[in-house]
């Protein structure tokens, strides 16, 4: 093992453009774990589909205001966080006139060490407020904001996704966050309503890159209004610290051998016939769930892993079809996590 080096900038090679047809813009924090549970998936940890922003406009805070709890361990207090949140919103939404800023419960287990505020602007018709902002309790950095006052519209986009991408890239440069991330998703979000389909913002995901290998959880999401080009949502997950270490970024196990090991594991563990399995994707990633779920502030070591998705007849027959996944250590061959339910 060695000390983690500063990553180099990569280039996007697998950008995806799709439409979302659910009510939510992005996945809620626990969606993937719930999905795994509903499918009966097994594994050592909750599964994951990479970086997920906290909540959508339709799935936000509680209906009544709950007092926040005090922080500890020399973290910043609520009043300081409230001041930082107001300053952050003024930068993100120049000229905003805040009518009310309510603190959400200080919930470390669910959200981490962050202060969460729901804000009502004077021109917001929603009495609860449609603006959210989170402040990191350790360093005072804004890690999330969302302006959901006018998220979905019947109007067609007034700017192209290429223009939106330029706006997103400029925003990251202004925050000095463009050098260590790689764009992996670019989509125009849509939602189906009783009045028909509505257009939302352009949604971009930038995964963190360390030594030329992408993380799975660490990264940044940005939403750009498809009408006026404003940044309407930002979320940063950055759990791998400078004190953490990484394995050698060059895999000891080649891709074809990794696939064979997965097929053998499925047969020995679940009795699944290798002939029933179709491999759908194979990619090399940092298994940064170790940093995401660290039990203390102690440094951790990230494993280099093959993330292999696959399906069988049971998964292909579902509506819509689904895939399972296995994370295989790219040096030792150990199965780090398996999210698969053969239904037997």
Q: What is the DSSP string of 184-226?
A: EEEEEEEEEETTEEEEEEEEEEEEEEETTEEEEEEEEEEEE-T
**pLDDT, tens digit (0-9, with 9 covering 90-100), for 307-328:** 999 999 999 999 999 999 999 9
Give me the pLDDT at residue 195, please: 78
Give me the pLDDT at residue 53, please: 67
Contact 132, 143 (CB under 8 A): no
Longest dimension (CA), the chain: 62
CATH class assigned to 61-147:
alpha beta
pTM for the structure as a whole:
0.79
Q: Is 327 exposed, middle or buried (0-12, 13-18, 19+ CB in 10 A)?
A: buried
**pLDDT, tens digit (0-9, with 9 covering 90-100), for 24-40:** 333 333 333 333 333 33
**CA separation for the pair 236, 222 (Å, rounded):** 9
Give me the pLDDT at residue 99, please: 95
**CA separation for the pair 118, 65 (Å, rounded):** 9
Tokens standing for residue 39: 């499918």
Stretch (H or E) spanning 287:
strand 278-287
Could you give the count of Cα atoms lying within 13 Å of 119 in the half-sphere of its Cβ?
Answer: 27
Residue 154's φ and ψ, nearest 5 degrees, are -80, -20
Give the start-to-end residue ranges of the domains of the chain: 61-147, 246-339
Query: What is the CB neighbour count within 10 angstroms for residue 265?
Result: 18
Domains 61-147 and 246-339 alike in fold: yes
CA separation (Å) from 149 to 23, 175, 224, 232? 15, 24, 14, 9
Give me the pLDDT at residue 191, please: 86
CA angle 44, 48, 27 (to 5 degrees): 140
Give me the pLDDT at residue 52, please: 67
Positions of the chain with pLDDT lower than 50, given as ranges: 1-48, 56-66
246-339 carries CATH number 3.10.450.40: yes
Residue 181's region, left for phi above 0, alpha for psi from -120 to 50, else beta, is beta
Mark 268-300 as b/e (b = at least 16 C-beta within 10 Å): eebebeeebbeeeebebbbbbbbbbeeeeeeeb
Q: Are strands 19-20 and 181-193 parallel, antiparallel or unpaired?
A: parallel
């Amino acid at each position: 093992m060695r000390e983690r080096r500063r990553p180099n900038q990569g280039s996007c090679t697998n950008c995806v453009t799709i439409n979302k047809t659910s009510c939510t813009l992005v996945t809620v924090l626990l969606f993937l774990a719930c999905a795994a549970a509903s499918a009966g998936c097994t594994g050592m940890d909750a599964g994951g589909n990479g970086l997920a922003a906290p909540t959508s406009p339709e799935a936000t805070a509680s209906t009544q205001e709950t007092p926040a709890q005090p922080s500890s361990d020399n973290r910043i207090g609520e009043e300081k966080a409230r001041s930082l949140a107001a300053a952050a919103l003024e930068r993100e939404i120049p000229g905003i006139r805040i009518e009310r800023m309510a603190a959400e419960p200080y919930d470390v287990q669910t959200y981490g060490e962050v202060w969460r505020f729901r804000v009502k602007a004077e021109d917001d018709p929603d009495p609860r407020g449609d603006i959210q902002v989170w402040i990191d309790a350790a360093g005072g950095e804004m890690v999330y904001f969302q302006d959901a006052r006018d998220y979905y519209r019947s109007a067609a986009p007034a700017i192209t996704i290429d223009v939106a991408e330029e706006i997103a890239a400029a925003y990251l440069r202004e925050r000095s966050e463009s050098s260590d991330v790689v764009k992996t998703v670019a989509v125009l979000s849509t939602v189906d309503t009783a009045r028909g389909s509505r257009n939302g913002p352009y949604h971009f995901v930038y995964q963190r890159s360390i030594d030329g290998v992408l993380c799975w959880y660490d990264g940044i999401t940005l939403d750009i209004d498809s009408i006026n080009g404003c940044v309407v949502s930002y979320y940063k997950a950055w759990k791998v610290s400078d004190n953490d270490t990484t394995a050698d970024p060059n895999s000891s196990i080649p891709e074809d051998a990794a696939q064979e090991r997965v097929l053998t594991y499925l047969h020995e563990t679940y009795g699944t016939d290798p002939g029933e399995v179709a491999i759908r994707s194979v990619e090399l990633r940092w298994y940064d769930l170790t940093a995401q779920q660290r039990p203390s502030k102690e440094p951790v070591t990230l494993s280099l892993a093959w993330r292999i998705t696959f399906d069988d007849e049971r998964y292909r027959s579902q509506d819509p079809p689904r895939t399972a996944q296995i994370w295989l250590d790219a040096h030792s061959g150990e199965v780090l996590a398996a999210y698969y339910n053969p239904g037997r």
